[in-house]
Homo-oligomer: A and B are copies of this chain.
Amino acid sequence: MIRIAVELPGHAAYPVVVGAGALGETAQHTGERPFGIVDLPVYEAHGALTAPLCSLVVAPSGEEAKDWETLELILSCMAHEKLDRASVALAFGGGSTLDVAGLAASLYMRGIRVVYCPTTLLAMVDASVGGKTAINLAEGKNLVGTFHQPSAVLADTRTLATLPDAEWRSGLGEVVKAALVEGEELLALVERSASALAARDLAAVEPVIAACVRSKARIVASDERESGPRKALNLGHTFAHALEKVAGFGAIPHGVAVACGLALALEASERAGLLEDASLRARVDSTLRTLQLPRSLGELRRTHGALPARELLAAMRHDKKARSGVPGFVLPRRAGALELSVALDERAVLELLA
């Protein structure tokens, strides 16, 4: 079991516990009878893992959960169970479930504690750390949300055994992003572990999850509200959010879109003359191939339809990072060194997406 303390200025430090059996610590972090929120696949696969609860809301899984209906359902159940400001919510599931459960916890009585039990690789390496919560609007992903830090994260790698292959690969997309953001050491670990990660070796994935969490915790601690350094975590995401929106939310798994977004960001960086490490594109390309992730927009179009360049551009203009309709791109110079807000002109973006 690996323990990481996340320390954010102005918040109590909270632990992230990574390893087989982490869920055994649930009661010590929630106290008696927390209010449970779980997504359907997790409920079906791991119902018995859950601690005694005061109530359990079963939510849809994936992007479907991130809507007004699920948010209202959770909040109405919280009120019906007469939770008070000392109550604790316990969320089991993938990133979408944690996002909507965390939003509900942040809103109920203006904020109660929430413990996250991520059950997907993507949620373990990314969604469960950092305190962003959200639901989607028809106009775009994550347009409604809050910053609300969990009081503990229990990443039990045993829950990954039942994860569908597509979800596993999606998590690996965020792993590669974390490596590019963090730098050479994590990138080398991911390259060395790539075959084992592709083969779903749980012993190999544990230190990788822990390294991703440490990296993200460090970045978030320096900039909780994303006014500066935290923007680095959006590497590949301006592209990814546009791909997900144009394909229809849920059609492309988030981390798969991120993988493609990383390839596009590297290409954009090279075209813009920003890329300093000439070998980086080839290394990431090779790693994405080993991990069975898309390495180009062309590859994604073969599996997910046309994804027209103009529609992608229009989606980017309304990205949360855009200002007055001009998207800001995070582009890598080398692993661990990123430009945080590059305004590419429209023609350059369209050529890249052609």
Residue ranges of A at the interface with B (Cβ–Cβ < 8 Å): 10, 68, 72, 75-76, 79-80, 82, 84-86, 106-111, 132, 134, 137-140, 143-147, 225, 317-318, 320-325
Contacts and interface: CB of A to CB of B under 8 A. Distances in A.
14 contacts: A10-B10, A68-B68, A75-B137, A76-B138, A79-B137, A79-B143, A82-B317, A85-B320, A85-B323, A106-B146, A107-B145, A108-B143, A110-B145, A110-B147
B145 A132 contact: no
Contacts of A10: 10
A144 B107 contact: yes
B139 A84 contact: no
B320 A84 contact: yes
A110 B139 contact: no
Contact of A144 (B75, B140, B145, B320): B75
Q: Tell me which of A107, A108, A139, A140 has the highest count of chain B C-beta atoms within 10 A of its own C-beta.
A: A107
A150 to B, nearest CB: 16
Tallying the copies of this chain within the complex gives: 2
Contacts of A132: 110
Given A320-B109, A323-B86, A76 B146 contact: no
Nearest to A81: B139
A318 B108 CA distance: 13
Contacts of A111: 146-147, 225
A85 B144 CA distance: 12
A68 B72 contact: yes
A82 B146 contact: no
Nearest to A80: B139
Q: Which 3 A-B pairs have the closest CB atoms?
A: A79-B139, A79-B137, A110-B145
A223 B68 CA distance: 31
Nearest to A82: B318
A108 B72 CA distance: 17
Contacts of A144: 75, 107-108
A139 B109 CA distance: 12
Nearest to A321: B85
Contacts of A318: 82
A134 B111 CA distance: 12
Contacts of A317: 82
Contact of A82 (B107, B109, B110, B325): B325
B84 A137 contact: no
